[in-house]
Chains A and B, each alone.
Chain A
Amino acid sequence: MIEKVADNWRLRGQRYRLEGEVCPHCGAVIFPPRDICPECGKPAKEPKPLSGRGEVYSFSTVYSPPEGFEAYVPYTVALVKLEEGPMVTAQLTDVAPDEVEIGMKVEMVTRKLRARGEEGTIIYGYKFRPML
């Protein structure tokens, strides 16, 4: 049986290890990776590993999830401002919803995002947890 896999596969670098880019022209750190630097508009394709450290800019606990995330509710999503500058949308993990606050220091971990049913692939990616 043929399944959809390439959509997640092609993003494995950024998903699994938060691989970003640095602009060779203005030095801006970029995540998610893109071909044009959002700061100076010039081409930017140089990979840059990010520290994975950041802080919570905002957060929300989801009770009514999109398809594929039913098994995980309630879970908390956040905008995380990374140490290097970029903002990223991700789940918080290993933390109870009422323990989260804006400004909380967090670090990246690679976790299971969801599975495509019982038989499909398992999708892994970055999440953030309170700094150990």
Chain B
Amino acid sequence: MRKVAIIGIGQTKVGEHWSLGIRDLALQASLAALRDANLEKVDALYVGNMMSGEITGQEHLGALVADALGLRGVEAMKIEAACASGSAALRVGTLAVASGMADLVLVVGVEKMLDTSGRETTSALAMAADAEYEVSQGVSFVALNALLMRRYMHEYGWKREDFANFAVVAHENAMNNPNAMFHLRITPEKYAKAPMIATPVGLLDASPVSDGAAAVVLAPADYARTLSPAPVLIRASAVATAPVAVHDRKDPLALEAARLSARKAYEAAGVGPEAIDFFELHDAFTIMSALSLEAAGFAERGRGVALAVEGEITRTGRIPIATMGGLKARGHPVGATGMYQVVEAALQLRGLAGANQIPNARLGMTQNIGGSGATIITHILERMV
């Protein structure tokens, strides 16, 4: 198996792209990544996307984006794993390069969510859950997270306000990210007063519905340095799954797939959580941040929220998270999110994160969650120069 490196990155601004369709978004991010890698052609293209069929009426994104990019005849396909689609595409691209079946691979995550009404988006997002046994009961995707949050508060004695810092820190970090959806500071008071979507999840616990695309170009690490001045090594790439339905999980608060995929990633990288300089986690909801921190070994069970309360998740804290705004404030174009995490991690590792730069960042971890915790993909990235 060959080692794989990221030699180019690209992203669009996250937000409401009324004038751009799904093809345009994918094209912009892909071209930026190719330009960054100084390439025009690749051997394969993998498109991470969750809901193009439902929202845009467009499937078959692999060939569509390949054609838009002028990559005649190239291998191309769409990869889907709900909100983890972006990371899943990266995983497939990594497999292709690592196996030697491809040398240069373009991976783009893209989501166009705003071409429909809010209710249709809610329904499309709910497709990440179990259609027959969760969605049929009127459970929205938000509600599934709310069920976890309520139980978490009950079992460990946390109050709703204790989650505020996850949102506050994300919004603070997004202030310096030109590509973030929100440039808006929020306060714990504002968090407390936000309207409820599904109790106890309020508007400021939840990431926004957004459009966006992010892309990377992969190459064998052996000669990545000849192609890029600042390549980033993929030290580990790990996927684990759990039952799609929350009720089918033995221990709903354990986020078992996150624990498994983090463990596999640590083993592959030969490091533990203490070696990680920053963690781009999947803060689609504040409760997911807490559970993810625990599952990845940064906090004991029931203590994930303590890291937020104690300020340990800021850029200068013990484990900085959402360093460019996270899903909460950079935005969460679902199928693109995993790729944004990776692009942002690469920026940190290249030392190009601007005001948000984590000093001397060497190892960064990303974790992308599909559904309410069913597919969880962890990547560990390392600075190469």
Select the stretch in B33-41, B116-124, B180-188, B214-222 that faces chain A: B116-124
Q: Known contacts A58-B154, A102-B154; is A89 also within 8 Å of B119 by CB?
A: no
Is the pair B150, A60 in contact by a Cβ cutoff of 8 Å? yes
User: Size class of B's contact patch?
Assistant: 35 or more
Write the B234-251 contact mask toward A (1 if CB under 8 angstroms, else 0).
Answer: 000000000101111000
Is the pair B143, A77 in contact by a Cβ cutoff of 8 Å? yes
Question: Which of B119, B120, B138, B245 is in CB contact (< 8 Å) with A91?
Answer: B138
Write the A22-62 contact mask toward B (1 if CB under 8 angstroms, else 0).
Answer: 00000000001000001000000000000000000111111
**Please, how many residues of chain A have a CB less than 8 angstroms from a CB on the other chain?**
37
**A67 interface hit (Cβ, 8 Å):** yes
Docked Cα-Cα span, A101 to B143, in Å, equals 16
With CB as the reference atom, state the residue of chain B lying closest to A8. B136
Residues of B within 8 A of A89 (CB): 130, 133-134, 137, 139, 147, 245-247
Is the pair A65, B132 in contact by a Cβ cutoff of 8 Å? no
Q: Known contacts A66-B138, A79-B147; is A61 also within 8 Å of B246 by CB?
A: no
Is the pair B248, A38 in contact by a Cβ cutoff of 8 Å? yes
Main DSSP-derived SS at the B contact region = helix
Write the B83-127 contact mask toward A (1 if CB under 8 angstroms, else 0).
Answer: 000000000000000000000000000000000001110110010
Residues of A within 8 A of B118 (CB): 64
Within 62-84 of A, Cβ neighbours of B (below 8 Å) are at: 62-70, 72, 75, 77-79
**A113 interface hit (Cβ, 8 Å):** yes
**B200 interface hit (Cβ, 8 Å):** yes
Is the pair B147, A59 in contact by a Cβ cutoff of 8 Å? yes
Docked Cα-Cα span, A60 to B150, in Å, equals 8
Docked Cα-Cα span, A5 to B302, in Å, equals 43
Q: Known contacts A58-B147, A58-B150, A89-B134; is A64 also within 8 Å of B140 by CB?
A: yes
Q: Known contacts A60-B143, A79-B246; is A66 also within 8 Å of B150 by CB?
A: no
**A90 interface hit (Cβ, 8 Å):** yes
With CB as the reference atom, state the residue of chain A lying closest to B142. A64
Docked Cα-Cα span, A62 to B252, in Å, equals 20
Residues of B within 8 A of A59 (CB): 147, 150
**B358 interface hit (Cβ, 8 Å):** no
Select the stretch in B1-9, B191-199, B289-297, B375-383 that faces chain A: B191-199
Is the pair B122, A113 in contact by a Cβ cutoff of 8 Å? no
Interchain Cβ contacts under 8 Å between A and B, 27 examples: A38-B248, A57-B151, A60-B198, A60-B200, A61-B196, A62-B140, A64-B118, A64-B122, A64-B197, A65-B122, A65-B138, A65-B140, A66-B119, A66-B135, A66-B139, A67-B119, A67-B122, A68-B138, A70-B119, A77-B139, A78-B147, A79-B252, A89-B133, A89-B245, A91-B137, A102-B151, A114-B138
Residues on B lying within 8 angstroms of A by beta carbon are: 118-120, 122-123, 126, 130, 132-140, 142-143, 146-148, 150-151, 154, 195-201, 243, 245-248, 252
Given contacts A58-B148, A66-B122, A79-B147, 11 further A-B contacts (CB under 8 A): A32-B133, A38-B248, A57-B252, A63-B197, A67-B122, A77-B137, A78-B147, A87-B252, A89-B139, A102-B150, A125-B136
